[in-house]
A and B are shown apart, each in its own frame.
Chain A
Amino acid sequence: AQSVTQPDIHITVSEGASLELRCNYSYGATPYLFWYVQSPGQGLQLLLKYFSGDTLVQGIKGFEAEFKRSQSSFNLRKPSVHWSDAAEYFCAVGAGGTASKLTFGTGTRLQVTL
């Protein structure tokens, strides 16, 4: 069975600083990987996804993530954080040929100080 670990429950960064959110996964085959963002009281929005090919993927809102098979990681990065990025971020791994079964991490809450 697949699993996802997000080791940081809560992270605080200053506006304009760089950001890296960690995600480690466990899955026997090539995984499908996702990052979602959830603003307070809202549903989830897809930031980016990795299926195959280039291991550095670009997403919306200036986010990117790098798939590192050797480290079983899919860390999310942003070079300069904006106050509006404050939210909860979830990493997820999809199993099966169609990623039909999704397993989410427990989330990282990002706080941005001005």
Chain B
Amino acid sequence: EAQVTQNPRYLITVTGKKLTVTCSQNMNHEYMSWYRQDPGLGLRQIYYSMNVEVTDKGDVPEGYKVSRKEKRNFPLILESPSPNQTSLYFCASRRFLTDTQYFGPGTRLTVL
């Protein structure tokens, strides 16, 4: 089954404790992206990657890091999480421009 998976689905952590949210897709997609969703703000793009070792900033990259060492994986790293990073995070992937973008199920992160 074609899918985008995220782990963990739910995470409660404390300020400053480094964490990684994994994202994996089994569709051999070149393009992957991370978004955060906050009430009243819609989805905002954090980072995206056009292919292995190619990443770029979205609209809200501060406080986040990403890496793309393999085509299927695109982890989101919070080196020192803060309460304002409490949010619902979505990973997404697609093959090329005209292809449909598939979203993962989301990761709800709470930073205390």
Report which A residues bind B (CB closer than 8 A).
6, 32, 34, 42-46, 49, 51, 90, 92, 97-107
Contacts and interface: CB of A to CB of B under 8 A. Distances in A.
A104 B106 contact: no
B33 interface: yes
Interface residues of B, number: 25
A11 B27 CA distance: 36
B48 A101 contact: yes
B45 A43 contact: no
A43 B97 contact: no
Interface string B22-39: 000000000101010000
Contacts of B103: 43-45
A33 B101 CA distance: 13
B79 interface: no
A103 B97 contact: no
B40 A106 contact: yes
A106 B41 contact: yes
B44 A104 contact: yes
A106 B40 CA distance: 6
B5 to A, nearest CB: 11
Contacts of A6: 42
Contacts of B52: none
A100 B45 CA distance: 10
Contact of B42 (A34, A101, A106): A106
